[in-house]
Structure 1
Amino acid sequence: MAMRLRARLLEALAGDPEGSPAWIRELAEGDDAGHFAEDGAAWTVHGSMATLVAGIRALLLQALHPGAMAGVHDHSTYRQDPLGRLSGTVRWVVCLTYGSTAQAERETARVGRFHSRVQGAYVDGRGDERSYSAADPVLADWVHLAFADAFLTCQETWGERMPDGGRIPGGPDAYVAEWATAGRLMSVDDPPSTAAELRRRIDGYLERGELRSDERVREVVSFLRRPPVGGIAGLGYRLLFAGAVATLPRRYRQLLGVRRSPLPVVSLTRVVLAIAGRALASGEGQRAQDWARLRLRRLERERAA
């Protein structure tokens, strides 16, 4: 069972049941250390099992911006190919976090080519019609904020504790400051550099009336609540969804039309993440960090020669 679960997780996250597609193996290549320090904040947060919940939470929050929601509704294949859509996003995050700067630039360009086709019109939170483009810095800002907040919050909730008692090297501000690099690469103007600023910026969208709920949002929430995943994996996913909802502030839950479960979902989510972590560790394949370390150790040997 562990091996079957491992294969399903790797298929969802990497697009490969063995977990080592070409773009993962490419993390061992390149001529520099990349954008982020080994075992630093970004490495730790994005290597955590808490990312399984963070991905759900980020999608829920992103859906509340009608411009971002219009792009998903009009152009995304999440209904027909949810795993393909997920693994494409994971690929960009992993390559940017653990890859060389050259690999990160190629992946950012790949995402940019897709985004160049994502455009249309939407009705904003005030009822006015606006045009949108995935390359619009305002939409890029919202997506970056929602992503960073989700991954930070879930790591603070479920990430493994370090010897000093914290869950992130350097603390929450270190992660937000590091991941601001991703925002700049995706054309975000002045991404936040502290956790407090990150959350102020998110709340600003709500307070300015730029977020809204409509039929499209309800459709996405319904899909995220019960995607086409059955059996034990489906039960585990539903607990992860409930965990993601539990970490959202009440006013965002109300806007999404979701309620916090009366069950102890934070603790139950921790159990699910532990099971998933053991399943992933049951195979012999290398993790993204391991491929990246091969590059770093090679570069060290080359410098010492």
Structure 2
Amino acid sequence: MLRLLGAEPIVGLGAGRALLMQLAHPGVARGVAEHSDFAERPLARLFGTLDFLLITAFGTPEQVERIAAKVRGIHTAVRGEGYSGNDPGLQLWVNATLIDSALYLHERLGRRGRPGEDEAEEYYRQARIVAEVLGCPLEEQPADLASFRAYMDEMVASLEVDDNARKVAAAVLHPRKLRALAPGLAVFRVVTTALLPEPFRERYGLPWGARHRRAAALVLGTAALGHRVTPGPLRRPPQALLVRLASHRVERTLRERRARRRAGRAERAGD
């Protein structure tokens, strides 16, 4: 079920929704603000997250453990006052936003409408692996879909959006280095705003008037129609190809990361 629902392209429409929900947690927002380079390399960071999810969902156990070990190693360096990249609570929340967004997109736009409770339950049960392989044990995650939904309701009601979250969200929604993609970014912003839970939309102060609602309805309606009339084999790329491409990008990203670290150390040594 994880592979069946996760392979649908409409899930990608929820990327911005999930990210802004993640940033609403002050620990996540501060960690990203102090350790991430979203502002300088927004697409690279986005693809890095998507590649990890693709390999976790569709890769072999060996591929999953290999990338999980690398990500855990990166997270070890992500720590500061009040947060840690290896905090199970933060890992739980980050994965919860991905699960919630995927289910929400399928319920709103999916080919068969709302997934049945058995399907949604199975999807949730399997999707917990993303947080598990990063270090959040299953016993620290909601045990079933009902518990998960209660957890989401509590988090959405209680989390406040702080200045760190707004700063990173602005870099994601209005990236300085991607101005050539202005039309696509406008669509991304309106879709992200439309899909966000209303409390978060208000806490971020995102514009949401009649014009925005009409634009969102047009984009999401078109996406839903395209999803429903396109046969599955044409909608979904081959899973093996996705994993190969994701693995290639991950290895390239890690090489570039190591090169930047070496360059930084050399520069500091020169000073």
Is the CA contact 1:57–1:150 (under 8 Å) kept in the aligned structure 2? yes
Aligned equivalents of 1:195, 1:246: Cα separation in 2: 24
Which amino acid counterpart does residue 254 of structure 1 have in structure 2? E
**1:229 maps to amino acid:** L
Q: Which of the residues 235, 241, 253 maps onto 2:183?
A: 235
TM-score, structure 1 as length reference: 0.67
* Partner-residue secondary structure (3-state), 1:263: helix
Q: C-alpha displacement at 1:56, in angstroms?
A: 0.8
Task: Give the alignment partner of residue 4 of structure 2, picking from 44, 49, 66.
Answer: 44
1:61-210 residue pairs with structure 2 within 5 A? 61-121=21-81, 131-161=82-112, 170-189=118-137, 190-207=140-157, 209=158
Matching residue's letter, 1:253: R
SS at structure 1 position matched to 2:9: coil
Distance 2:219 2:116 in 1: 22
Per mean C-alpha deviation after superposition, the further-off stretch among 47-56 and 221-230 is: 221-230
Q: Which has the higher helix share?
A: 2
How far 1:219 sits from its partner (Å)? 1.6
Letter in 1 for 2:216: V
Distance 1:272 1:229 in 2: 23
Matched length: 233
What SS does structure 1 have at the residue aligned with 2:77?
A: coil
Distance 1:292 1:52 in 2: 14
Distance 1:229 1:86 in 2: 13
CA distance in 1, matches of 2:93, 2:130: 13
- Contact persistence 2:10–2:223 (CA under 8 A): no
Deviates most, 261-270 or 134-143: 261-270
Offset of residue 174 of structure 1: 1.9
- The answer to whether the 8 Å contact 1:98/1:288 transfers is no
Q: 1:174 to 1:221 in 2, by over 3 A?
A: same
Amino acid at match of 2:49: T
Deviations 1:168-204 (A, max 9, x none): 7952222111101222222224323544322311222
Distance 1:91 1:293, change over 3 A: closer
Bigger relative contact order, structure 1 or 2 (CA pairs below 8 A, ≥6 apart): 2
In structure 2, distance between residues paired with 1:136 and 1:155? 29
Shift of 1:264: 4.7
Query: Identity across aligned pairs (percent)?
Result: 25
Query: What pairs up with 1:14-25 in 2 under 5 angstroms?
Result: none
**AA paired with 1:239?**
V
Amino acid at match of 1:221: A
Q: 1:169/1:239 Cα in 2 relative to 1: closer, same or farther (>3 Å)?
A: farther
> Matches of 1:158 and 1:237 in 2, distance apart?
21
Cα RMSD, aligned residues only: 3.0
Unmatched 5+ stretches in structure 2? 245-271
Deviation at 1:167, TM superposition (A): 5.0
Structure-2 residue corresponding to 1:217: 165
